[in-house]
Amino acid sequence: MISKASRSHRLEKNIYSDLNTSDGGLIVNGPLDGYRIIELTSTVSGPMAGMILADQGADVIKIEPPAIGDLARYMGSSRNGMSAMYAVLNRNKRSLVLDFKEVSDKNIFNKLIQTADVLIENFRPGVVKKLGLDYDSLRVIRPDLIYVSISGYGQTGPYSKRRVYDPLIQASSGTAAEQCESRPTNVRTVMFDKVTGFTAAQAITAALLQRVKTGSGQYLPISMLASALYYQWPDFMWSHTLLGEDVTHAGELADYFQIYKAKDGYLAVILVSDKHFRILCQLFESPLIEDPRFSSFPNRIINGDELRNALDSIFSVYLADDICRKLDGNNIPCARVATLDEIHKDKQVKHEGALIESDHPVVGPMRFAKIPFQFAGQGDFLKYHAAILGQHNREILEELDISELEITKTEERERLNREKMADFNLLQAK
């Protein structure tokens, strides 16, 4: 049996030397090369924003508290003490551990801020003020700092103090209410955490461009609720956008589309066009085109349940891929419904190289989506694997000319913490 101490030592010896390279070597720097992002975030929304900027070449330094770090390290499927979600969201970043209760660590942070272009935080409103890490405090140190505060319901207001999770935003934004007629239900992904991450990343790059023109930094509070409404409004709220009388309503977009059952699975078929519906009926020798319930697109929406049942019956003797081949051959939009276990086998996914596989020194072999675009001159996508906690302490502190005594002190603290945390699980943090 391996002791906690020896296991910790083995991690230090092997992982630190392996995490800095991918299977294809280091990337050529991307368009955000030269910008430094300080990430004081946890879980999904903030790390997502940092991941996007890191993928595009920024030097993202993720600062975490001692011992536990970001709780996302332990959330969901994991291996050897690191979760899959953390390994994906925190790639291409450097890890620094600081304890803001310690004056020496606070001084290190202030020195680091002098070198930063952007700070991202997603503490609950009011916390950074108590820590002395708020925008007004830090812009004294770095006047042109771009400071992004991500929150659930905003920095002020009646809900601002709530402890927020993505399902609360799904509830408040109307999303949960529209998923099922019988009762509200959640979308099975933390959609608005990720939407907020994308929103923040885009706002940051726009703010950096504005800073080139003005020379000024700025404070950017971004809420998950506002991001959710901004994201879903154009289609989701089209029946609630035009105010007053004389509005011609056309149903809800989600009701335009159906999922149908084949012999061996399911498929999505878009039957907005009367021409396409007529061709489908001909291909499968069905008289449905003569049924007045389905003779026009509006009628097919009104009688959507009956149409689904009728097509389920027709498709029940055919394989989903065979149906798609027939429909593809006649330019009728369709796609087989892939299960999560099937996505990596999809011919188009493989053709685009949308997924990559890599061996992480801690979690082992893993598969994940790569950045969906390639900048001119940018090489391999993966620069750093997601780091173990405090992996880059020495590297970053040496860049800041921190004394060897102070660096050794932080390293010893992290070594002791790794021994204590060797058998940690998330339930212990509740």
Pairing, β 218-223 against β 146-151: parallel
Helix (H, G, I), strand (E, B) or coil at 301: helix
CB neighbour list of residue 203: distance below 8 Å, 6 or more residues apart: 148, 220, 222
Residue 418 confidence (pLDDT): 83
Q: Give the pLDDT band (50/70/90) at residue 138.
A: very high
28 pLDDT higher than 70: no
Tokens for 64, please give them. 């975490």
User: Do residues 64 and 393 make contact, with C-beta atoms less than 8 angstroms apart?
Assistant: no
Helix (H, G, I), strand (E, B) or coil at 406: helix
> Following DSSP, what letter does each residue of 197-239 receive, concatenated?
HHHHHHHHHHHHHHHHHH---EEEEEEHHHHHHHHHHHHHTGG
Tokens for 51, please give them. 């991941």
Q: Tens digits of per-residue pLDDT, 342-351?
A: 999 999 999 9
Q: What is the enclosing helix (H) or strand (E) of 410?
A: helix 404-420
345-350: long-range contacts, CB 8 A cutoff, minimum separation 24: none
> Which residues belong to CATH 3.40.50.10540 in the chain?
4-234+376-429
Cα–Cα distance, 424 to 108 (Å, whole number): 28
Residue 143 confidence (pLDDT): 97
Q: Tens digits of per-residue pLDDT, 174-211?
A: 999 999 889 999 999 999 999 999 999 999 999 999 99
Cα–Cα distance, 70 to 90 (Å, whole number): 10
User: Do residues 99 and 69 make contact, with C-beta atoms less than 8 angstroms apart?
Assistant: no
Residue 379 confidence (pLDDT): 74
Residue 381 confidence (pLDDT): 78
Residue 21 confidence (pLDDT): 42
Residue 3 confidence (pLDDT): 38
CB neighbour list of residue 392: distance below 8 Å, 6 or more residues apart: 61, 94, 95, 96
**Of 128, 95, 65, which Cα lies nearest the Cα of 429?**
65
> Looking at domain 253-344, which of 3.30.360.10, 3.30.1540.10, 3.50.50.60, 3.40.50.970 is its CATH number?
3.30.1540.10
Amino acid at the residue 344: H
Q: What is the mean pLDDT of residues 79-101?
A: 96
Q: What is the enclosing helix (H) or strand (E) of 396?
A: helix 393-399
* Sign of the CA dihedral running 12, 14, 19, 21: positive
User: Do residues 131 and 104 make contact, with C-beta atoms less than 8 angstroms apart?
Assistant: no
Residue 61 confidence (pLDDT): 98
7 pLDDT higher than 60: no
pTM of the model: 0.90
CATH topology of domain 4-234+376-429: Rossmann fold (3.40.50)
Pairing, β 93-97 against β 258-261: unpaired
> Which residues belong to CATH 3.30.1540.10 in the chain?
253-344
Cα–Cα distance, 115 to 141 (Å, whole number): 10
Q: What is the mean pLDDT of residues 281-310?
A: 96
